[in-house]
Structure 1
Amino acid sequence: MQVLSNDRAPANDVARGVTADNHTEPREIERGDLVTFCLIALLVITIGAVLYFAKAFFLPIIAAFVVGTMLSPAAGFLERHRIPRALSAVMIVSGLGAGVTFIVGLISAPVMEWTGRLPELIGLLKDKLHIFDRPLALWHQFQSMIGASDAFATAPFQMPKLEWVQPALEFLPPTFTEFLLFFATLILFIASWRDLRRALIMTFRDHDSRLRALRVINEIEEHLGSYLLTVTLINMGVGAATGFVCWATGMPNPAGLGAFAATLNYLPIIGPVAMFTILTVVGVVAFPSIGEGLIAPALFVALTFLEGHFITPTIIGRRLELNALAVFISLAFWTWLWGPMGAFLSSPLLIVSLILREHFIPSSEPQLP
């Protein structure tokens, strides 16, 4: 019996050791995971702070990289037709600048006209909104009946102050230096993209890593090029449909409103909401009754609903379809960080991050029921 007990003692000790190790090892792993998470969080915060405070440098550079990657398939197409890469870059950027100039020309004419008539338009809008005096009076009577404060009951209707206009105008346009840096970087990036990708791939030592980098770069280039092409075609269709709706309903300057709709539609969520607001204000001012002025905005809402829920998912397909919550969070972050240009870059940067996650952090967990 004593021998048996002595033989069992080491086994019990081993069992205790295994149990102790099993109890202590997860604590070490959890502590390491917490340290890793904190370091990654600090790295993300540091990068975000650098991108925010050095916006004047990083915004045109990163925008040129993203747009250049989108346009690189077009440069490759021209190069296959025996057009030098440098000349292709100049031609593509010149065509892009011409298109932007054309859109700005369509938009600037009505904007200048409406800006010159701003006092008159504000007076017309104020007169149209007097129809809400009766509902507001009923609301004040209801407040007095339930004992709420009637401090605003006798206050006359006033148009909202436009104190936000100057900060918004200071926030929107980039400087001439940023434009120059963007276009110069874009031309040089497209012209030297083939050499840059070769150098990037050759930085990895082993063959497997080079193949993975090549697959990642090819997939990013393919997806961003497809995204730009499909979104541009869809936005052109939205702009044409909006212009037709404005023409059919008698809205002023339907071509400019259509160009405005096509341009703003590059900004997810923000663009359609801003366009609906513009159509509402223009319709209320241009037509004798508010009901007539709301016809075009209502048709635009139906148009954007069809485009966002049926047309775009069908054309883009499952491969480029993005989660709505991820799109919204990315849009909010990049808009806060870099303004309207950040809103434009939010979806391409989200596509790049998803491709990188798919290749470098593959999901190997079993599917839960």
Structure 2
Amino acid sequence: MAEDTARQLQARPIPVPKVTAPGSPQTTLLVIALVVVALYIGQDILIPIALAVLLSFVLSPIVSRLERWRLGRVPSVLAVVVLVFVGIIGFGAVVGSQIGDLADNLPNYRHNLHVKLQSLRSSAATADNNGALKQATDAFRDLRRELEQVTGQSPATAEGPPPASGAQASARPPGEREPVPVRIDQSGTGALEVARDLLGPALAPFATAGLMLVFTIFMLLQREDLRDRMIRLAGSGDLSRTTEAMNDAGQRVSRYLLMQLVVNVTYGIPIGLGLWLLGVPNPLLWGLLATVLRFIPFLGPVIAASFPILLSFAVDTGWTLPLLCIALFIAVELFSNNVVEPWLYGSATGLSSLAIVVAAVVWTTLWGPVGLLLATPLTVCLVVLGRHVPQLHFLEVMLGDRPVLPDEAKVYQRLLAGDPIEATEITEERLASASLTEVGDTLLLPALSLAEQERQRGALNAAGRQTVGEGMAALLDELSDSEGTAAPDAPLVLCVGTRNNLDEAAAGLFAELLRRRGLRADVIPCEKASTRAIASLGTSGVSAIALSSLDPSGLAHIRRLVRRLRLHFGPQVPVILCLWSAHPEADAPKRAAGETGADRIATSLASGLAGLADLGLPAGPAIEPETAEPAADRTG
């Protein structure tokens, strides 16, 4: 029987959904608008479900651990849920008792508040009578008096009801006011209406909590079935991607909640202890509220700090205690934001800072305070969807924290925009952990290759090429160092750009490396190597020629250039051809030597330096410029 069943399962094909092309932008925007409307309209049902999903992420590992201890699925779920709600009730009881104790002691602080108000009033009375506030008050009073003189009305008549007209005005005795109609409305005063108006808002949170409890229990009981249904909805033909997306979302949300709990505890404990040492009443209450309210982004810490600070004004007759409370919250908040959170979070959420702010605004608009609490976890799920669903990739680009452009694209974009300073900053960040040769091969030459690709597609005009070339020259000037200047009797290498400004920029990079190794290097643009202008180049002292080309397909043009250079400088001057954009194993470098007549072929800065060494031009180690601080100090 088992064999027949297995044979039937093997013979039955699994339906694979057809892969459809991504929809148009209009369709995507329409779907997003419909989803937003559905989230807003269905918030009464969707909020308990979202809270239940969030709670199930937290409780699922605990339930799994109890199941591994052979406790059983149903007892494990019930035990965990009951334990959570007992903890919530206990927390509420502690907070309620602290609030009651605070309410009992508030009348005792009335005298301190009266003293502070009296001191403020006396300070205001002894202030200069010609102060800014008094001048503004006198100006408004004079303006009002002038308006009354112009209109000829007193303030009472100007603001009173309009006079009656017609027969009613003539029939009414002088001085008698117009009667005001009175209507008795008994609608909405029944017991049911009063109960609905008073108890409805109070019972709404309990109803939400009850629905959340029911959804959480069923999600924990049937989590494997729900996972399988989600996989089927996402497409059973792509199990690897769907499983990876679900695991990614679960791990990120669980890690975020765990780290947030640790951060909040490390924030609430110092706050409670600090307020206890300062003498603020009910420090346990404020520490617990600081721990819980910090789950709410941005507004939570502000709300948690406002209550004890306001209470400190009433407790102390002076101003020392309020200032110390403010200093305590600022110090703990700075330590938590700059030390604890970067250390614990890392890449826990994968959200950018701007995405967290935007998510808080959007979800608060849709779902109110609960939306603010759920903003980060829900946005994490959206980023995971954007990472694994091609149609929603824009979500990861807009909300994620991963760089959307590689460094070489950033460098090219900044050079094209005429901002070599930022391109230099990116390059210097790489130079902190690598040499200029490595940075040139992995960053600067790929940036120039991107420009060459756009030139070949016709997307980069002559002005753009000139801007990129000048920007690369400015970048190299910023990186150059006087210690890299070669001796006058050092061998001279001519670095020649074969076609345009981009080739000349690459030649300038290679020349900078040669100068740092004690060689003399001159950058020759392609115009000076033309048939009409090559006669202006001197022939004495040239030890080698390095041709720089970002287009490996232009071998015919390079062959004519090599022939022209050999006729001018003589066959004794070796020529090395640097095809910067060519792969070492590609066809062009293999056949370039035979087709162009060059003595050596290089495809990177490192191989170019090695090629010159093979031609008899030894160079010493690179002379790197001094960094901001020595390496020993950085490691220490």
8 Å CA contact retained: 1:144, 1:150 = no
Residue among 171, 196, 201 paired with 2:226: 196
CA deviation string 1:163-212 (max 9, x = no partner)? xxxxxx998984322111110101111111112112322445554x1111
Q: Determine the structure 1 residue equivalent to 2:95.
A: 107
| Residue 64 (structure 1) aligned with residue 94 (structure 2) | no
Q: Determine the structure 2 residue equivalent to 1:75.
A: 63
**Residue 48 of structure 2 aligns to which amino acid in structure 1?**
P
8 Å CA contact retained: 1:276, 1:301 = no
Whole-angstrom distance in 1 between the partners of 2:130 and 2:51: 51
Instruction: Kindly state the Cα deviation for residue 251 of structure 1 after the two structures are TM-superposed.
Output: 0.8
Instruction: Kindly state the Cα deviation for residue 346 of structure 1 after the two structures are TM-superposed.
Output: 0.9
Residue among 102, 119, 131 paired with 1:141: 131
Q: Determine the structure 2 residue equivalent to 1:282.
A: 311
8 Å CA contact retained: 1:69, 1:190 = no
Q: Determine the structure 1 residue equivalent to 2:251.
A: 222
* Unpaired stretches in structure 1, ≥5 consecutive residues: 1-32, 152-168
- TM-score scaled by length of structure 2: 0.46
8 Å CA contact retained: 1:143, 1:150 = no
Q: Secondary structure at the match of 2:410?
A: coil
Structure 1 pair 307–365 and aligned structure 2 pair: CA distance change class (3 A): closer
Whole-angstrom distance in 1 between the partners of 2:119 and 2:219: 57
| Residue 356 (structure 1) aligned with residue 385 (structure 2) | yes
Instruction: Kindly state the Cα deviation for residue 135 of structure 1 after the two structures are TM-superposed.
Output: 5.6
8 Å CA contact retained: 1:89, 1:187 = yes
Of Structure 1 and Structure 2, which has the larger fraction of its residues in helix?
1
Q: Determine the structure 1 residue equivalent to 2:75.
A: 87
Instruction: Kindly state the Cα deviation for residue 62 of structure 1 after the two structures are TM-superposed.
Output: 1.6
8 Å CA contact retained: 2:264, 2:292 = yes
Whole-angstrom distance in 2 between the partners of 1:94 and 1:66: 17
Q: Determine the structure 1 residue equivalent to 2:163.
A: none
Whole-angstrom distance in 2 between the partners of 1:144 and 1:331: 42
CA deviation string 1:314-334 (max 9, x = no partner)? 111134353222111211222
Q: Determine the structure 1 residue equivalent to 2:273.
A: 244
| Residue 54 (structure 1) aligned with residue 42 (structure 2) | yes
**Higher RCO (CA 8 Å, separation ≥ 6 residues):** 1
Whole-angstrom distance in 2 between the partners of 1:219 and 1:342: 22
**Residue 235 of structure 1 aligns to which amino acid in structure 2?**
N
8 Å CA contact retained: 1:267, 1:343 = yes
Q: How does 1:147-162 map to 2 (within 5 A)?
A: 149-150=139-140
Q: Determine the structure 1 residue equivalent to 2:615.
A: none
**Residue 66 of structure 1 aligns to which amino acid in structure 2?**
L
Residue among 407, 410, 416 paired with 1:368: 410
Instruction: Kindly state the Cα deviation for residue 278 of structure 1 after the two structures are TM-superposed.
Output: 0.9
Whole-angstrom distance in 1 between the partners of 2:215 and 2:248: 22
Instruction: Kindly state the Cα deviation for residue 63 of structure 1 after the two structures are TM-superposed.
Output: 1.3
Structure 1 pair 51–149 and aligned structure 2 pair: CA distance change class (3 A): farther
Deviates more, 1:315-324 or 1:116-125: 116-125
CA deviation string 1:233-271 (max 9, x = no partner)? 221221211110011101111111111111111111111
Q: Secondary structure at the match of 2:347?
A: helix
Structure 1 pair 140–290 and aligned structure 2 pair: CA distance change class (3 A): farther
8 Å CA contact retained: 1:79, 1:88 = yes
Structure 1 pair 121–250 and aligned structure 2 pair: CA distance change class (3 A): closer
Deviates more, 1:346-355 or 1:126-135: 126-135
Q: Determine the structure 2 residue equivalent to 1:306.
A: 335
Q: Determine the structure 2 residue equivalent to 1:22.
A: none
**Residue 43 of structure 1 aligns to which amino acid in structure 2?**
V
Q: Determine the structure 2 residue equivalent to 1:98.
A: 86
Whole-angstrom distance in 1 between the partners of 2:24 and 2:34: 15
CA deviation string 1:26-84 (max 9, x = no partner)? xxxxxxx9x94444334333333332333222111121112212322222222233232
**Residue 64 of structure 2 aligns to which amino acid in structure 1?**
G
Q: Secondary structure at the match of 1:318?
A: coil
Whole-angstrom distance in 2 between the partners of 1:96 and 1:230: 18
Whole-angstrom distance in 2 between the partners of 1:296 and 1:117: 19
Instruction: Kindly state the Cα deviation for residue 227 of structure 1 after the two structures are TM-superposed.
Output: 1.5
Deviates more, 1:104-113 or 1:238-247: 104-113
- TM-score scaled by length of structure 1: 0.76
Residue among 310, 326, 339 paired with 2:368: 339
Whole-angstrom distance in 1 between the partners of 2:366 and 2:110: 33
8 Å CA contact retained: 1:283, 1:293 = yes
**Residue 269 of structure 1 aligns to which amino acid in structure 2?**
F
**Residue 50 of structure 2 aligns to which amino acid in structure 1?**
I
Instruction: Kindly state the Cα deviation for residue 85 of structure 1 after the two structures are TM-superposed.
Output: 2.5
Q: How does 1:148-187 map to 2 (within 5 A)?
A: 149-150=139-140, 174-187=204-217
8 Å CA contact retained: 1:69, 1:224 = yes
CA deviation string 1:276-317 (max 9, x = no partner)? 211211111112212222312321221011112220121111
Structure 1 pair 148–330 and aligned structure 2 pair: CA distance change class (3 A): farther
8 Å CA contact retained: 1:60, 1:182 = yes
**Residue 347 of structure 1 aligns to which amino acid in structure 2?**
T
How many residues are treated as equivalent by the alignment?
Answer: 319
Deviates more, 1:62-71 or 1:46-55: 46-55
Q: Determine the structure 2 residue equivalent to 1:28.
A: none
State the structure with more CA Rg.
2
Structure 1 pair 343–123 and aligned structure 2 pair: CA distance change class (3 A): farther
8 Å CA contact retained: 2:359, 2:376 = yes
Whole-angstrom distance in 2 between the partners of 1:135 and 1:333: 44
Structure 1 pair 122–185 and aligned structure 2 pair: CA distance change class (3 A): farther
Of Structure 1 and Structure 2, which has the larger fraction of its residues in strand?
2
The Cα RMSD (Å) is 3.2
Q: Secondary structure at the match of 1:175?
A: helix
Percent identical: 23
Instruction: Kindly state the Cα deviation for residue 118 of structure 1 after the two structures are TM-superposed.
Output: 6.0
**Residue 98 of structure 1 aligns to which amino acid in structure 2?**
V
